[in-house]
Structure 1
Amino acid sequence: MSYITFKNICKSYDNKTQVLKGIDLEVEEGELLTLLGPSGCGKSTLLRCLAGLEQVQQGHILLERRDITDLDARQRQIGMVFQQYSLFPNMTVEQNMAFGLKIQRLSKAEINDRITEALAMVGLQDKAEAYPAQLSGGQQQRVALARAIVTRPKVLLLDKPLSAIDAKLRKSLQVEIRRIQKQLNITTIFVTHDQDEAMVMSDRICLLNCGKIEQMDTPIAIYTHPRTKFAAGFIGSYNVLEPLEFGRVTGDIDLPAQPIAIRPEVLNIAREKQNLPGTCDIEGTVIDSTPRGNVLRYKVDVNGVQLSADTLFRSFSIYENGSKVWLSLEKRNCLHVEEEAV
């Protein structure tokens, strides 16, 4: 039996804009599920419905098999960390963390013990007496996380908590959040629009599009086997080709019935035709290139169809715009995808 269950959740604003369109979703106890998708797809709204900060128009939300759909937010035992740190500026770190514990009417000794434990988890033992203005953005976000877990909630909700933090620190905090989540074995739902972040953080990813679930799977499965054009385009930056485009690229006259998705990294780029067994050689012209860390992404024109091809960034194998190249494609890397989620 799932720990959290969303049953046919529908949510509209002003009775016009339907944000959630019949969401059915189950979350297992102790897992970290990421709600991933573009802005406006409904991921934060679904999170707020679970927290009790938004009311649903239709459907039910169950926590430990108990219907909490109409339960007051304060009675749900759910901790939440927002994109904005939402710390009380006139309170020290310790006072910020003690706020929720005092509402629970815990003894002073237990409050002190819990605060000490939570600060140790986020590595801020020496910041108990500091005010938010005296902390960096990353430290404030760690305080917000500690404040959420110190109350020992049944569920931890993280709504784009790292989007305002610089890239290097964000990667460090991703590791820290995952470590703490596993240590506490706390059921966690994480919201982001960053595909890389979702891949690093998640046990499973729930990809949302226009208020519906597009695909839900493990990070590896959703990356290697996207089921729809949208999933292929959003996860992994696949080249998604319609049947006629695929025919123009490969010269295949036996056209597929569905769109074909091809990952950029499986297109091997070279100056000469490679003639490898089980592959299709495609001639094209480099029209652009973009550095992406240790990878260089080429845009190659093939009979009017533009393909992205990734290769390691090596100075001895860089192709200038206008260069004639050959792309080698293994047929097993051509994935059939649906036009849209069923």
Structure 2
Amino acid sequence: MTIRAVVRGVGHYLPERVVENAEFEKTLDTTDEWIRTRTGIERRHFAAEGETTSHLAIKAAEAALADAGMQASDIDAIVVATSTPDHTFPSVATMVQAGLGSTTGFAYDVQAVCAGFIFALTNANGLILSGQAERVLVIGAETFSRIMDWTDRGTCVLFGDGAGALILEAEDGTGTNADRGILSSDLHSDGRYRELLYVDGGVSTTGGAGVLKMQGNQVFKHAVTKLAQTAEKALEKAGMSASDVDWIVPHQANLRIIKATSEKLGLTLDNVVVTVADHGNTSAASIPLAMSVGKARGQIKQGQVIVAEAIGGGLAWGSVVLRW
């Protein structure tokens, strides 16, 4: 008998404040049309003053628990993917644990920037397969609005805030790709490319948070190639091909990247859950956000094959194949 980590619930949370592209026209040399045509983004959400990453994560977690019909006490472990924690320490995950009223199990953060949720999901799968946990709450949560350079039109219009959460539970499977749950994963990183996307601050450098810096054209080139390659590799590990895929749930960074990657896999946008127009790039939150929205829309259904893929600063990238 094979143990599988099966999705039991999903949820998300978006801050109340919605920022349309037109707002940036007041302070930057940009237009709604320029942003839409180059990124596919139309609006994004920004956290309110005093609203932290852990606040967003707790809301998403509560939604996922409700979707799964579970209580916080049912969860053995909490893994949070974020690059924008409330504090240097403690972890956002322990704040979520406290916020949910849980006093059992364990909680910790994972940092792989926009690829963070893929790394966290793979990590949570490992916890379940090794017997360390039976139920794991996996969250991606970000407040990227706190690390923007508001004078840089090439970056500040791209990002938004939000959180998404997924609950995995151990279930007996047959060991074939007909099982529900996570079927394979594929992770990579290459620190030689760290200067393509980074934040120019930190505890042991400037002592401050810093702001995001990005070489957009270079990141685009790496993203299209590496995302298609990792998706193909993960499908190969699962004994599948692109023709078996019902939905790609990609990191929601840029509509052009999403289109180009799906084309490399021989798929169309009809097979892709797309939320970038309404959320912008929410980094580690974007995939669980899209999964939750995709389920709410009626797109993602039980038994379907999902490929989730992401690339972020590091560079770090990877993918997961799962049957919902």
Which range, TM-score by smaller chain? Answer: under 0.3
TM-score scaled by length of structure 2: 0.26
Structure with the higher fraction of residues in helix conformation:
2
TM-score scaled by length of structure 1: 0.24
Question: Relative CO higher for 1 or 2, CA cutoff 8 Å, sep ≥ 6?
Answer: 2
Query: In terms of Rg, which structure is larger?
Result: 1
Structure with the higher fraction of residues in strand conformation:
1
